[in-house]
Amino acid sequence: MKEKKYATMFSAIEHKLTGVLGQGQYDWVDRRVFDQVFDQSTLMSVFKLMQQGHIDTIEWPIARGKEAHVFFAKSQSGPVAVKIFHTSNAVFKGLMQYIEGDPRFGGLRRRHRELVNVWVQKEHRNLMRMRKNGVRVPESLMTRNNVLVMEYLGDENGPSPRLRDVTVDDPEKLFKELLRQLRMIWQDAGLAHADFSDYNIMIHQGEAWIIDAGQSVVQNHPKAKEFLVRDVTRLCQWAQKNGVEADLAEATLFVIEE
Ligand SMILES: Nc1ncnc2c1ncn2[C@@H]1O[C@H](COP(=O)(O)OP(=O)(O)OP(=O)(O)O)[C@@H](O)[C@H]1O
Ligand SMILES: [Mg+2]
């Protein structure tokens, strides 16, 4: 019954997934990657998002990470980025073999999936909260279970580069700009980004965009200040590496001072 429903659903959207079925130019998108990312429940979520018009076709992969794959997709309102979080990873699978089948501890797979879904909600809400408060982040458009649809940063040919992949003309100016963004995240959005680095900043149409907010926490999280200081430290290290005289104490004060 479940299999049949799944087969019907899959055949309905198969032609909209050509970019992830190994028919594209990306050799790493083979059957294994497809199975890793698009398990039955993920396909079901994608199917629903397609029915609702949030996604039309998934075209090609942008990036693969430990926790998520990001794809370029098209929707009725234009291009979007679709971040699909893995519902299982190697560590979890390793632990599972010792628990699965033991009747005393059932439903673990489902609980793990629920945890991933909460993480996706967290990224969605963090992005919305930052954006509402003026921080330059992609607009988070929609989520469903482990799938997040957001504004795409790039053009037809590919995504915009990450900060770590470009040489910046005026590092001092960018340093000050990013410090202002960190200040806005902390003071206006009331959050600590908590993974601020040149991996998680994209340079799009001449501006720095902050991405990857799943781990961001509210100010009264017990580790919020620790994360904030780490974010500012990383930014200062980036600046120093690029020849800017960045002072950590001064920078931290600028971010937290009202
Ligand atoms: N909105 C977007 N538009 C275009 N490309 C994006 C967008 N969001 C992310 N990317 C690309 O995908 C890569 C991975 O995205 P992101 O940092 O959000 O996930 P991640 O690092 O895999 O997550 P995690 O930290 O959980 O491992 C980015 O480095 C960037 O190149
Ligand atoms: Mg990242």
Catalytic pick among 35, 170, 212, 231: 212
pLDDT tens digits for 130-143?
999 999 999 999 99
Q: Please give the distance, rounded to the nearest whole angstrom, from the Cα atom of residue 134 to the centre of ligand 1.
A: 20
Q: Is the CB of 123 under 6 A from ligand 1?
A: no
Active site residue 195: yes
pTM over 0.85: yes
Question: With 90 as the cut, is the pLDDT of residue 248 above it?
Answer: yes
Q: What is the mean pLDDT of the chain?
A: 92
Ligand nearest to the CA of 202: 1
pLDDT in tens, 135-190: 999 999 999 999 999 999 999 999 999 999 999 999 999 999 999 999 999 999 99
Q: Is 89 in the pocket of ligand 1 (CB under 6 A)?
A: no
Domains in the chain, CATH or no CATH each: 11-156 (3.30.200.20), 160-256 (1.10.510.10)
pLDDT score recorded for residue 64: 86
Listing DSSP states for the chain in one string gives -HHHHHHHHHHHHGGG-GGGTT-SS-TT-SHHHHHHH--HHHHHHHHHHHHTTS-SEEEEEEEE-SSEEEEEEEETTEEEEEEEE-S--HHHHHHHTTTTT-TTS--HHHHHHHHHHHHHHHHHHHHHHHHHTT---PPEEEEETTEEEEE--EETTEEPPBGGGS--S-HHHHHHHHHHHHHHHHHTS-EE-S--STTSEEEETTEEEE---TT-EETTSTTHHHHHHHHHHHHHHHHHHTT----HHHHHHHHH--
Annotation says 231 is catalytic: no
